[in-house]
């Protein structure tokens, strides 16, 4: 999986730059982590599952996690 290629495809489809795509993704991730739904333990559990170097994942970390989860579900494997 090439994250840069994913960014380029999204940018091309939406008529924006790769930098804009990444910035929008990072903003959405920050909003989700900084303003989670009140008392939503399901959201908290999913957020804790995403491996990341810091408290909040980068778009690249989230993409890697999401693509891994998709691949697992396609193979019928659920952890």
pLDDT on residue 64 = 93
Give the number of residues written for the chain. Answer: 79
pLDDT tens track for 18-71: 999 999 999 999 999 988 776 677 788 889 999 999 999 999 999 999 999 998
CA 11 to each of CA 29, 42, 45: distance values in angstroms, whole numbers, following the listed order = 18, 31, 30
Give the total number of structural domains in the chain: 1
- Given pLDDT bands bounded at 50, 70 and 90, which one contains residue 14? very high
CA 55 to each of CA 24, 36, 45, 48: distance values in angstroms, whole numbers, following the listed order = 18, 14, 14, 9
pLDDT on residue 7 = 95
Residue with tokens 């990444």: 22
Closest-CA residue to 3 (of 72, 65, 71, 79): 65
Structure tokens at 17: 């730059």
Range of the domain at 36: 3-74
Residue 79 lies in a domain: no
Residue 44 lies in a domain: yes
Residue 17 lies in a domain: yes
Residue 38 lies in a domain: yes
Higher local confidence (pLDDT), 47 or 1: 47
């Amino acid at each position: 999986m090439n994250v840069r290629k994913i960014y380029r495809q999204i940018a091309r489809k939406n008529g924006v730059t790769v930098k804009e795509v990444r910035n929008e993704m990072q903003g959405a991730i920050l909003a989700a982590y900084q303003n989670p739904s009140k008392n939503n333990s399901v959201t908290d559990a999913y957020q804790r599952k995403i491996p990341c170097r810091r408290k909040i994942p980068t778009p690249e970390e989230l993409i890697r996690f999401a693509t891994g989860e998709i691949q697992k579900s396609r193979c019928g494997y659920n952890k």
